[in-house]
Structure 1
Amino acid sequence: MAKLLILSIVPKLIFGFIVILVIIRLLGKRNLSQLTPGDIIYFMVFGGILEESLYDNKVKFWHVLLGLIIWGLIIYLFELIISKSRIARKWFRGDTDILISNGEISQKCLKHNKLEIDQILSIAREKNIFDLSDIKNMYIESDGGFTIEPYTYQYPLIENAYTIYPLIENETINKQNLKKINKDETWLYKQLAREEVYKKKDVFYADWSEYRGMYILKLFYK
């Protein structure tokens, strides 16, 4: 009985493995970082079809074959539609979002992607950027990755090249850091006014360093 069960499982597993490899090749994927949410759904359904068929003797090999072929055709047609239609591609794959543009950060993009300042700082450090004022533009790609376009400097800045004091984070003033640099809130609001910012809620992040002075990352609501 066990031998018969093994003989029925092995062909299904081998065939399922081959079909998934073929689909990955047809989708043009080279590594896992290129997989989209749609791709994950494809393979979850593949896994479900195989799982339901492995230990059920009533499900014949040709049933599995038919199910995987039909699902493969659905994927192929879906991908074909997406490749031909920009509207469909935007709806199902997403589009590139501009998170930071010339010193301003998109409130809409922040809210949609549920991002906070700590995450943005971490992403910048992963790209070897340790000062947000170095960032000219930051993009969120359709696959969820981040692309940073820095300003061009003659001498690249490195971590700990100078001390940066965060002064505003999440609409909260860091009074402790203001004391460290011997400044007060009146001075801070004057700095904001110089950049035509008059409300604290319009500032996503602000910091100060002796090396380059004040940096303000303003929110825009488009």
Structure 2
Amino acid sequence: MDMYMDIGIKLVISFFGLWIITFVTGRKTISQLTPLDFLTSLVLSEIVGNTLYDDTVKISHLLFALALWTTVSYLFEKAATHFVKFGYLTEGRAVLLINNGRINQKWLNKYEMEYKQLLSMLRRQGIFSLNEVKYAILETDGSLSVMRKPEFEPPTAQDMGMEAKPDILTVTVIDKGKLLEQSMLGKPIDHNEIKQKAREQGFDSLEDIAYAEYGDNGELYIFPKREVLE
């Protein structure tokens, strides 16, 4: 009877403990999970699973393990949020696999991705030819974001009797006032050009910029801190 009671208490503690950890570290959908989130879930499952039927592990041990893991996860999540470089280090960066219709073979090789894998991911988005793709970005969660060439967008501009306007690819260049070294692998950032573009828009200090994107059309899109809702 005592064993059943012990298991029951551990299960209840584990349930609410995992719920608290999820609430504290931030709610995410499955598609938003990073490799670190996945490893965290595995460790938590081991912590809970190994304590349920082990008589030598007391309830106090389980509480200590969950509390410690919650604290570490919370601090890690906050560090990744507040320190931009640390966040990119832990969560990874997006990778430009197709740039303006040209395949970036270097990054395909680096991530050991074959053409059949790339085509499979494209087909899931209704694209059956590489010739239709202008930009393809491998996101940090492993998904593929695609921008078609204008003539292949449904409905096409030609079908509507309109002139096709070129699509624009933008990359993050400033995050929380910090000028990034490289936010997307395969797409280097010219720091001098970004600073010049910011000065042209009246931003002598990058600290006044909450977020900025740079487009392949040469435009810098700035979101000042004073206009960003906290």
Shorter-chain TM-score range? 0.5 to 0.7
Aligned to 1:126: 124
Aligned to 1:143: 141
TM-score w.r.t. structure 2 length? Answer: 0.63
CA offsets, 1:134-183, max 9 Å, x none? 111000111111100111227748xxxxxxxxxxxxxxxxxxxxxxxxxx
Aligned to 1:98: 96
Q: Give the distance between the partners of 1:92 and 1:154, measured in 2 at CA.
A: 36
- Contact kept, 8 Å, 1:29 with 1:35, in 2: the verdict is no
> How many Å apart are 1:73 and its aligned residue?
0.2
Aligned to 2:12: 14
After TM superposition, which residue ranges in structure 1, 4 or more long, deviate above 6 angstroms?
none
Q: Give the distance between the partners of 1:58 and 1:155, measured in 2 at CA.
A: 63
CA offsets, 1:170-220, max 9 Å, x none? xxxxxxxxxxxxxxxxxxxxxxxxxxxxxxxxxxxxxxxxxxxxxxxxxx9
Comparing 12-21 with 94-103, greater Cα deviation is found at: 12-21
Q: In the superposition, relative to structure 1, how do residues 79 and 99 fare at CA in structure 2: closer, same or farther (>3 Å)?
A: same
Q: In the superposition, relative to structure 1, how do residues 23 and 135 fare at CA in structure 2: closer, same or farther (>3 Å)?
A: same
Q: Say whether 1:51 aligns with 2:49.
A: yes
Q: Give the distance between the partners of 2:118 and 2:146, measured in 1 at CA.
A: 11
- Contact kept, 8 Å, 1:20 with 1:43, in 2: the verdict is no
CA offsets, 1:12-46, max 9 Å, x none? 11211222122223333342222111112212222
Aligned to 1:31: 29
Comparing 78-87 with 51-60, greater Cα deviation is found at: 51-60
- Unaligned runs of 5+ residues in structure 2 are 156-185, 189-230
Higher relative contact order (CA 8 A, sep 6+): 1
Aligned to 1:195: none
Which AA in structure 2 matches 1:118? K
TM-score w.r.t. structure 1 length? Answer: 0.65
Aligned to 1:88: 86
Q: Give the distance between the partners of 1:61 and 1:140, measured in 2 at CA.
A: 43
Say which SS state the counterpart of residue 124 (structure 1) adopts: helix
Say which SS state the counterpart of residue 151 (structure 2) adopts: coil
Say which SS state the counterpart of residue 100 (structure 1) adopts: strand
Which AA in structure 2 matches 1:106? N
Aligned residues: 158
- Contact kept, 8 Å, 2:25 with 2:73, in 1: the verdict is no
- Unaligned runs of 5+ residues in structure 1 are 158-219
Seq. identity, % = 31
Which AA in structure 1 matches 2:119? L
Q: In the superposition, relative to structure 1, how do residues 150 and 59 fare at CA in structure 2: closer, same or farther (>3 Å)?
A: same
Q: Give the distance between the partners of 1:139 and 1:29, measured in 2 at CA.
A: 24
